[in-house]
Amino acid sequence: MLTVYTPIGTTAARLYSASGDVEFINDVEKTAWRGRSTELGGALDTFASEAAALLIIGLPPGGDVTVSYSPTGLAHASLADVVITFDPPSYPPQHVTIVRGEQRIDIDHLESVEGSEALHAPEVPRNYRCCVAPQL
């Protein structure tokens, strides 16, 4: 479960992924999408993968990922045609940049929370428009 906040602390988007199923809720545009990660295609397919989720929180995944390290944590990773950079290279990560061609996502980690509760897909508010696929 990834929650994206606006600079003023309101929820901008939520991405939930489990066993290849993905739910994306865009709270800014009041839209929602549910489906398989393979239906997303491109960077979003990669972004919704378990490997990408681990990289975003600063943990090295297994599998077909090229990773370079510094003494303080992950520095750089390549996953398919997506490049992930950690600035500074540290754990936990502070700033993560995800680039695919001309597309770019910047993530500033303000807080990471770990818990023992089971995660469930978030509820989609009734007034949100359905079936709008997310764009990177």
Contact 44, 136 (CB under 8 A): yes
| Residue 95 pLDDT level (bands cut at 50, 70, 90) | very high
Percent of the chain predicted with pLDDT > 90: 35
Reported as a single tens digit per residue, the pLDDT across 21-68 is 889 999 999 999 998 877 766 546 555 567 877 888 888 888 888 999
Ranges of each domain in the chain: 2-108
Please tell me whether residue 87 adopts helix, strand or coil conformation.
coil
- Any idea which architecture 2-108 has in CATH? Clam (2.50)
Res 85: pLDDT: 96
User: Residue 122 above 80 pLDDT?
Assistant: yes
